[in-house]
Amino acid sequence: MKEGWKGPLEKIDDYRWRIPKSYQPGMRVPGMVYADEKLLKDIEKEQSLNQVANVAVLPGIVKHSLAMPDIHWGYGFCIGGVAATDIEAGGVISPGGVGFDINCGVRLMRTDLELAEVQARLTELVNGLFANVPCGVGVGGKIKTAGKDEENLLIKGARWAVERGCGWKEDLEVTEECGALKGADPSKLSERALERGRNQAGTLGSGNHFVEIQVIDEIYDERICSQLNLARGLITVMIHSGSRGLGYQVCDDYAKSMVRSLSKYNISVPDRQLACVPVNSPEGKSYIGAMACAANYAWANRQCLMHLTRKVFERIFNKGPKKLGMDLIYDVAHNIAKFERHKINGKEKLLCVHRKGATRAFPAGHRDIPPAYKEIGQPVIIPGDMGRNSYLLVGTEKAMEETFGTVCHGAGRVMSRTAAVRSIKSWVLEKELKDKGIVVRAKGRATLAEEAPQAYKNINDVVNVVHKAGIGKKVCRMRPLGVIKG
Amino acid sequence: MIEDRSTYPNGHDQLKAHILTGTNNSKPKSRGYELIDHTADIGIKAYGKNLKKLFVNAACGMFGILADLKNVRKEKEVEIKLEAPDVEELFLLWLGELLYQLNGKGIILKEFLIEELTGKRLVARVTGEKLNLKRHCLKTEIKAVTYHGLKVRKIKDAWQAEVIFDV
Query: What is the residue-averaged pLDDT of chain B?
Result: 84
Residues of A assigned a catalytic role: 409
Which residues does chain A have within 8 Å of residue B20's beta carbon, measured at their own beta carbons? Answer: 421-422
User: Which residues does B contribute to its contact with A (CB < 8 Å)?
Assistant: 19-20, 22, 24, 35-43, 66, 85, 89, 96, 100, 102-104, 106, 131, 133, 136-141, 143-150, 162, 164, 166-167
CA nearest to A201, candidates A302, A306, A335, A129? A302
Neighbours of B26 (CB within 10 A): 11
Closest CA to A315 of A131, A472, A445: A131
pLDDT of residue B40: 80
Please report the DSSP string for A305-348 in residue order: HHHHHHHHHHHHHTS-TTTTT--EEEEEESEEEEEEEEEETTEE
Q: CA of B43, closest CA in chain A: separation in Å?
A: 10
Res. B139 pLDDT band, cuts 50 70 90: confident
Are A403 and A363 in contact by the 8 Å Cβ rule? The answer is no
Q: Which member of B19, B39, B143 has the closest CB to residue A422?
A: B19
The predicted pLDDT at position B30 comes to: 61
CB contacts, 8 Å: A72 with chain B: 39-40
Residues in A closer than 8 angstroms to B100, CB to CB, are: 192
Report ipTM for this prediction.
Answer: 0.91
Residue of A100, A136, A422 with shortest CB distance to B22: A422
Q: Could you tell me the end-to-end alpha-carbon distance of chain A, in angstroms, rounded to an integer?
A: 29
Report which of A300, A312, A307, A304 is spatially closest to residue A113, judged by C-alpha positions. Answer: A312
Which residues does A363 contact at the CB level (< 8 Å), separation at least 6? A377, A378, A394, A395, A396, A397, A399, A400, A405
SS3 B118: coil
Which chain A residues contact residue B72 at CB under 8 A? Answer: none
Contact: A248, B144; criterion CB under 8 Å: yes
- Under the banding of pLDDT at 50, 70 and 90, the label for residue B29 is low
Residue B9: exposure state from Cβ atoms within 10 A (0-12, 13-18, ≥19): middle
The number of beta carbons lying within 10 Å of the beta carbon of residue A4 is 11
Full pLDDT tens readout for chain A, 486 residues: 557 899 999 999 999 999 999 999 999 999 999 999 999 999 999 889 999 999 999 999 999 999 999 999 999 999 999 999 999 999 999 999 999 999 999 999 999 999 999 999 999 999 999 999 999 888 888 888 989 999 999 999 999 999 999 999 999 999 999 999 999 999 999 999 999 999 999 999 998 999 999 999 999 999 999 999 999 999 999 999 999 999 999 999 999 999 999 999 999 999 999 999 999 999 999 999 999 999 999 999 999 999 999 999 999 999 999 999 999 999 999 999 999 999 999 999 999 999 999 999 999 999 999 999 999 999 999 999 999 999 999 999 999 999 999 999 999 999 988 899 889 998 899 999 999 999 999 988 788 999 999 999 999 999 999 999 999 999 999 999 999 998
pLDDT for A78 equals 96
Calculate the dihedral angle through the C-alpha atoms of A23, A24, A26, A30, rounding to the nearest 10 degrees: -30
Kindly state the DSSP code that residue A143 receives in the 8-state scheme. Answer: B
Q: Given pLDDT bands bounded at 50, 70 and 90, which one contains residue B17?
A: very low
Question: How close B107 comes to chain A (CA, Å)?
Answer: 11
pLDDT given at position A443: 87
Q: Give dist(CA A440, CA B75) in Å, integer.
A: 37
Q: Where are the alpha helices (DSSP H) in A100-197?
A: 115-120, 122-132, 147-156, 158-163, 169-173, 191-197
The neighbouring-strand residues paired with B80 are B124
Question: How far from A293 is each of A102, A233, A298, A334, B23, CA to CA, in Å?
Answer: 9, 38, 9, 16, 43
Sign of CA pseudo-dihedral B138, B141, B145, B146? negative
Q: Is the pLDDT of residue B10 over 60?
A: no
- What are residue B75's phi and psi, to 5 degrees? -110, -25
